């Protein structure tokens, strides 16, 4: 059974003015997501600024999320690292907290060969019993896990069940889906490619857009699942200008600004991320108004 189908939000981590995690604000954001129809919470990923959280903060954020969600929808915790031992540590600790699955990014900087990637996922997966979703995002990691490696991992390692594909390469996704023959749950990692990936057999999206538009993102998927492909396509295309604005600077700079504009968080970022450029912020604000969420 899939970890989730539909729209999982790659949720932000809100910070106070002094840079500490704002857990009260985080609670409200989670509640808003659930009320908006989000199908899963993906915590401590790229959008959650996991790279600048200490291990203690990382685990505290996961623990808080699990507690607030309280089983209402699945919680998927980002527990990847470029160090296999660290990924094992974060994954085993997250499992103790009651997460439903882990999202494990391919190792970055030191990268690894395809053999090394296979061994990395095998070691991490064997340390836990919960499902693992591979996160393939070469634009950030400098590392691409090939479709044949993903299929090999999912066929040979029982609890590695799927992939979040943020390659942007639809042809590669098509090859993956053809080779996988149903053994890999494919999630879009790009908000402008939800419907194309669903059309290739994908089962959902791990979404930045869902932070500011949970119902609309959920509905893109649900319309497709319900057979309203034309409606899903229209909803996808209607969101494109806002998605473009949300990625006009490095994620999560724009989505943090969007959440600030909605009054849902302070918008504070941790360095090296910096405040959104005024001209980009104005475009984002206008896109949010035209989309009907501001």
| CA–CA dist 97, 271 (Å, integer) | 28
pLDDT value for 1: 81
Q: What is the pLDDT of residues 132-154, one digit of tens each?
A: 999 999 999 999 999 999 999 99
Q: According to the model, what pLDDT value does residue 19 have?
A: 96
135 an active-site residue?
Answer: yes
Domains and CATH numbers, the chain: 6-228 (3.20.20.70)
Put simply, whether the predicted model's pTM sits higher than 0.95 gets the answer: yes
Q: How far apart are CA 25 and CA 33, in angstroms?
A: 12
Q: Which residue is catalytic, options 164, 223, 257, 264?
A: 164
Catalytic hit among 135, 223, 256, 264: 135
Summary mean pLDDT of the chain: 98
pLDDT of residue 193: 98
Q: Are 236 and 224 a contacting pair, CB within 8 Å?
A: no
With CA atoms as reference, report the closest residue to 15 among 236, 207, 271, 279: 271
The continuous run of DSSP H or E covering 225 comes out as helix 214-225
Query: Averaged over 265-282, what is the pLDDT?
Result: 97
Q: Are 255 and 284 in contact (CB under 8 A)?
A: no
Sign of CA dihedral 129, 52, 187, 147: negative
Question: Which tokens sit at 255?
Answer: 């989505």
Residues 15-24: pLDDT tens digits?
999 999 999 9
Share of the chain above pLDDT 70, in %: 100
pLDDT at position 247 is 98
């Amino acid at each position: 059974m899939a970890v989730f189908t539909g729209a999982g939000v790659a949720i932000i981590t809100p910070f106070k003015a002094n840079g500490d995690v704002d857990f009260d604000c985080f609670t409200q954001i989670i509640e808003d997501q659930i009320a908006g129809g989000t199908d899963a919470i993906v915590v401590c990923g790229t959008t959650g600024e996991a790279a600048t959280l200490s291990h203690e903060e990382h685990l505290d954020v996961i623990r808080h999320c699990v507690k607030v969600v309280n089983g209402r929808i699945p919680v998927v915790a980002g527990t990847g690292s470029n160090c296999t031992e660290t990924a094992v540590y974060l994954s085993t600790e997250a499992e103790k907290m009651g997460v439903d699955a882990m999202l494990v990014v391919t190792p970055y900087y030191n990268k690894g060969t395809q053999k090394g990637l296979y061994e990395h996922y095998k070691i991490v997966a064997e340390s836990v019993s919960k499902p693992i979703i591979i996160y393939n995002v070469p634009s950030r990691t400098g590392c691409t896990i090939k479709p044949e490696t993903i299929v090999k991992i999912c066929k040979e390692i029982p609890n590695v069940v799927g992939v979040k594909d943020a390659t942007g390469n639809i042809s590669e996704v098509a090859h993956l889906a053809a080779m996988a023959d149903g053994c890999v749950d494919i999630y879009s990692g790009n908000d402008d490619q939800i419907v194309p990936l669903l059309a290739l057999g994908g089962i959902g999206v791990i979404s930045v857009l869902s932070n500011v538009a949970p119902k609309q993102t959920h509905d893109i998927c649900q319309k497709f699942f319900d057979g309203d492909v034309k409606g899903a396509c229209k909803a996808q295309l209607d969101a494109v200008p806002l998605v473009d604005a949300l990625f006009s600077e490095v994620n999560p700079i724009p989505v943090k600004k969007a959440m600030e504009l909605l009054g849902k968080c302070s918008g504070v970022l941790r360095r090296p991320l910096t405040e959104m450029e005024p001209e980009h912020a104005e475009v984002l604000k206008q896109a949010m108004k035209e989309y009907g969420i501001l």
